[in-house]
Amino acid sequence: MNAVETNRLLLRPWREEDGVELQRLFNDAAVRGERNLPPDRIARLAEGSLRQWRVNGFGPWAAIDKATGSWIGRVGLDELDDWPGADKIEVGFELHKAWWGRGLATEGALAALEFGFEQHSLQCIISVTAAAHAAARRVMEKAGLTYRGTHYWMNPEVPVVWYAIDRAAWKASKSEANTL
Ligand SMILES: CC(C)(COP(=O)(O)OP(=O)(O)OC[C@H]1O[C@@H](n2cnc3c(N)ncnc32)[C@H](O)[C@@H]1OP(=O)(O)O)[C@@H](O)C(=O)NCCC(=O)NCCS
């Protein structure tokens, strides 16, 4: 099952037509943040999302709000080819601003962890963001990832932090949740 439903989200594999939505999403400076994302780079991100599904059998999802059918963002497992660490599969999340602040990124991130560990036997899932990006760091923490270090990556002026959760920690958090 490559599409996943959470309480509020339909998370479905990336499609070619989602490229147009991704351009809309990153056209918003609030979503883009410090990242340099001209249209050709956004197009490559969209193509890369498709390619991952083809090659790896998993990749980023398009996130659809179940109640309205709205396309609200890109969430899920994403391979960071040039990340310097050994584990390169991250959980990523980018939502249109109108949908922020409702716990949706965390809901999607938790579904991505379950998908990666249960369906694809991943051993470790990371997440990377600008050190100053408090909201993204909070989503990582709420999803159970822990801080692992700070690097300069891509942009020599913007430090990034990386977080991770391994399979054993994820299993332990699941069984703890089940006994509460
Ligand atoms: C980061 C992003 C995905 C968060 O989505 P979201 O659905 O609002 O996230 P959630 O509601 O699940 O959780 C956000 C948490 O960050 C907290 N938060 C939000 N803004 C914050 C800030 N400026 N400082 C500290 N915490 C902040 C929220 O209070 C919430 O934590 P809480 O539940 O403990 O109160 C969303 O803001 C986004 O799409 N931003 C643009 C794209 C982006 O930067 N993505 C990350 C790239 S690495």
- Alpha-carbon gap, residue 68 to 71, rounded angstroms: 9
Domain ranges of the chain: 4-179
Please give the number of the atom of ligand 1 that sits closest to the Cα of 95. Answer: 39
Is 180's pLDDT higher than 70? no
Ligand 1 and 48: CB distance under 6 A: no
Please give the number of the atom of ligand 1 that sits closest to the Cα of 73. Answer: 39
For ligand 1, atom 37, which residue shows the shortest CA distance?
100
For ligand 1, atom 24, which residue shows the shortest CA distance?
134
Q: Which long-range contacts (CB under 8 A, 24 or more apart) does 38-43 make?
A: 43/19
* Centroid of ligand 1 to alpha carbon of 152 (angstroms): 22
Identify the residue with better confidence: 33 or 161.
161
What percent of the chain is modeled with pLDDT above 70? Answer: 99
Looking at residue 178, its pLDDT comes to: 76
User: pLDDT digits over 116-125, tens only?
Assistant: 999 999 999 9
User: pLDDT digits over 2-59, tens only?
Assistant: 999 999 999 999 999 999 999 999 999 999 988 889 999 999 999 999 999 999 999 9
> Averaged over 101-127, what is the pLDDT?
98
Ligand 1 and 97: CB distance under 6 A: no
User: pLDDT digits over 88-97, tens only?
Assistant: 999 999 999 9
Looking at residue 127, its pLDDT comes to: 98
* Centroid of ligand 1 to alpha carbon of 55 (angstroms): 30
Q: How far, rounded to the nearest angstrom, does the alpha carbon of residue 176 sit from its chain's CA centroid?
A: 24
For residue 91, what is the enclosing H or E element? strand 89-95
> Averaged over 140-168, what is the pLDDT?
95
- Coil, helix or strand at residue 30: helix
Give the architecture (CATH level 2) of 4-179.
Answer: 3-Layer(aba) Sandwich (3.40)
For ligand 1, atom 32, which residue shows the shortest CA distance?
138
Ligand 1 and 26: CB distance under 6 A: no
Q: How far, rounded to the nearest angstrom, does the alpha carbon of residue 4 sit from its chain's CA centroid?
A: 14
* Centroid of ligand 1 to alpha carbon of 28 (angstroms): 16
DSSP 128-173: EEETT-HHHHHHHHHTT-EEEEEEE-S-TTSEEEEEEEEHHHHHHH
Q: Which long-range contacts (CB under 8 A, 24 or more apart) does 101-105 make?
A: 104/8, 104/9, 104/63, 104/72, 105/75, 105/139
Is 127 in contact with 91 (CB distance < 8 Å)?
yes
